[in-house]
Amino acid sequence: MREKILIANWKMNYDFYETTSFIRNLLKVLFDKKINHNKKIIIAPSFPFLHISNQISQGTTLSIASQNIHQKNKGAYTGEVSAEMLKSIGIKKVLLGHSERKIHFFENNCILLKKIKIALKYNFHIIFCVGETITDRKKNIHFSVVKNQLKDTVFHCSLDEMNYFSIAYEPVWAIGTGLTASPKEAQDMHKFIRLLFMEQYGKKVSDKISILYGGSVNDINAKEIFSQEDIDGGLIGNSSLDMNKFLKIIKS
């Protein structure tokens, strides 16, 4: 049975007070009101608030992920944060490969592979993002683009290391734009990705790996997207910043 996962990617939003009060309120609503859902919920706040967020969530089923790590462990990399540092404050999950990091911070597959390797060295669970641009889709090369993204990064890892991965399919044209892939477009890509894992690592891995959809998921469209056979949850940006919308997505 594949794990259903919902990740709130808060990007560079929410200060200390907003972060801590959102997480406290979320925990209160989820547990006091005993909201019925089948998903593992992960919040990815900004670096300065990872420690406090992790402390608040201790002993609950909510977990906290970092939005990034540096590919080196320590040294003269002003402004960067390492996997070892995050591990020392109890963080065990990291988002890698997000298209905003590729666009604004020039992360390429070579850097991403280094980030994957250092994250695995510290036993992080990696939520690895893949997805095509609108130009790729118009040219009808979206399947091969996603295949190459995996081939150059995740597929350099061993069979055992697959236990540490979830994949997020995030079409770049759908992130923060209000446009979503149709449920069929998303399902077709998820099925394709699962097939790639089958070819690379076999049925056990492809049956087990969670593949999440991300790209303008909201409280209205979540149910239909999540009901697709190969979609195991979502990576949510904007809608995860609104408690009411996020709760509706959790219940979807």
Q: Which residues contact 116 (CB under 8 A, 6 or more apart)?
A: 96, 126, 128, 153, 154, 156, 157
Enumerate residues 203-222 that contact ligand PEP by CB under 6 A.
214-217
* The pair of three-digit structure tokens given for residue 36, joined into one six-digit string: 């019925």
53, 54, 206, 238: which one contacts ligand PEP (CB under 6 A)?
238
Please indicate whether residue 170 is annotated as part of the active site: yes
* The pair of three-digit structure tokens given for residue 218, joined into one six-digit string: 């909201």
Q: Is beta strand 63-64 parallel, antiparallel or unpaired with respect to 165-169? A: unpaired
Shortest distance in whole angstroms from residue 46 CB to ligand PEP:
13
Enumerate residues 160-199 that contact ligand PEP by CB under 6 A.
170, 175-176
Q: How many chain residues bind ligand PEP (CB under 6 A)?
A: 13
**Partner residues linked to 9 by β-bridges:** 44
Answer yes or no whether residue 9 interacts with ligand PEP by CB under 6 A: yes
Options 107, 132, 170, 190, the catalytic residue: 170
* The pair of three-digit structure tokens given for residue 217, joined into one six-digit string: 């998921």
Q: Which residues contact 46 (CB under 8 A, 6 or more apart)?
A: 10, 12, 13, 14, 19, 67
Answer yes or no whether residue 149 interacts with ligand PEP by CB under 6 A: no
Options 98, 132, 142, 190, the catalytic residue: 98
Which residues are tagged catalytic? 98, 170
- The residues of the shown chain that bind ligand PEP, judged by CB under 6 A, are 9, 170, 175-176, 214-217, 235-239
